[in-house]
Amino acid sequence: MITIKEANTKALLLDYVKFPFSLYKGNKYWVPPIINDELETFDKDKNPAFASAEAKFYLAYRNNTIVGRIAAIINWNEVNDQDKKKVRFGWFDVIDDIEVTKALMEKVYEFGREHQLEYVEGPVGFSNLDKVGVLTEGFDQISTMITWYNLPYYKEHFEKLGMKVEKEYVESKFSFTNINPETFIKANELIKQRYQLKPLNFTKTKDIMPYVDKMFDLFNKSYANLSSFVAITDIQKEYFKKKYISFINPELIKFIVDKDDNIIAFSIVMPSFSEALQKAKGKIFPFGIFHLLKARKHSKDMIFYLIGIDPEYQNKGVTAIVFNEYYKTFKEKNVQTCYRTPELVDNVAIHNIWKHFDPIIHKRRCTYVQNL
């Protein structure tokens, strides 16, 4: 018999966070989160997403043993401002038993119906800066700190329950050592002169901070037309600024500004923390911090996390400036491989950015939808 319990205490939320550690024990492709970071994500007093969203976290039990988990989320900005009557689900993990998946999904459906919503979609998080999608290809590829990993039966469970694919994503990688800089070096100079643009590079985090709010404004502006996009709020900007920007190597954040010092493009790259997180085993202390700091400084694999360009400058070759700056930084650091985060299959503009680097698609993922 399957029992569903809401994880509404600190002890139950800790069980919720720790369940994947047992589910994926010994799996060399799963990358564990930092336990305290996950707990903060689910804390209504710490995560500003709860200012415009609500969520319930459920655990599934059989014989007093946890066999699955799921989060049911309503982003009220999405519901009210965009008129998308959607309940989200995320942080989904389960043993290979479709009855457990069915029981967990029923709790999400119930949550959505209670609020007169019309359909459910997931796996997704609170916002566009959270993880997204269930893995459908690439189960033999190591995960990243910004993507969920899962086994093949997740997809099978959703489809057997009648859920349909809603959005499809691809993840790609390319070898830095194969890049021909001639594809962007000459264009870099031409574009800078034509539009009176200049790159901003940093060595200290404190020098980046004055630009971060404007960067998030540009993020909202440049991604506004995507079907899945929900704008980042002001309080979320402050949260992400403190939680993430201070941790990223400042050399890996690039801004492009116009003659009036307005940001017209930005890019954030992160070193791969995958192996460091596996060694940390969910804990910063006592030794996890050393693995993470070592990766921050010495990793030879880089992940292009975000890139945004003002719509006025899209299709004008601005990425040549961005790539030229990263090429210099990566060459100095002896970078070997570059990875892309999940990109919507129908986002042609973003795919065109990378076409000159001969990227290889190594993972696919998607979200599933079900009418209520």
Quick count: other Cβ atoms within 10 Å of Cβ 42?
18
Name, in order, each residue with C-beta under 8 angstroms of 120's C-beta and a sequence gap of 6 or more. 86, 87, 88, 89, 105, 108, 109, 112, 369, 370, 372
Domain 174-363 has CATH 3.40.630.30: yes
Domain 2-170 has CATH 3.40.50.1010: no
The two tokens of residue 256 are: 């492009």
Per-residue model confidence as pLDDT tens digits over 130-146 = 999 999 999 999 999 99
- pLDDT score of 227 more than 70: no
Name, in order, each residue with C-beta under 8 angstroms of 227's C-beta and a sequence gap of 6 or more. 167, 344
pLDDT for res 262: 94
- pLDDT score of 226 more than 80: no
Q: At what angle do helices 153-160 and 98-114 cross, to 10 degrees?
A: 60
CA separation for the pair 189, 170 (Å, rounded): 31
The two tokens of residue 320 are: 């040549």
CA separation for the pair 272, 125 (Å, rounded): 21
Listed by start position, the domains of the chain span 2-170, 174-363
Name, in order, each residue with C-beta under 8 angstroms of 17's C-beta and a sequence gap of 6 or more. 33, 35, 38, 39, 42
pLDDT for res 228: 67
Phi, psi (rounded to 5 degrees) for 208 = -80, -35
More confident site: 37 or 243: 37
pLDDT for res 241: 82
The two tokens of residue 251 are: 């050399």
pLDDT for res 206: 92
pLDDT over 70, % of the chain: 99
When pLDDT is averaged across residues 201-218 and rounded to a whole number, the result is 92
pLDDT for res 25: 97
For the entire predicted model, the pTM comes to 0.94
List the single range of 12-21, 137-146, 205-214 with lowest mean pLDDT. Answer: 205-214
List the single range of 158-162, 205-209, 264-268, 351-355 with lowest mean pLDDT. Answer: 351-355
pLDDT for res 242: 79
Listed residue (204, 193, 192, 187) closest to 245, CA to CA: 204
When pLDDT is averaged across residues 168-178 and rounded to a whole number, the result is 93
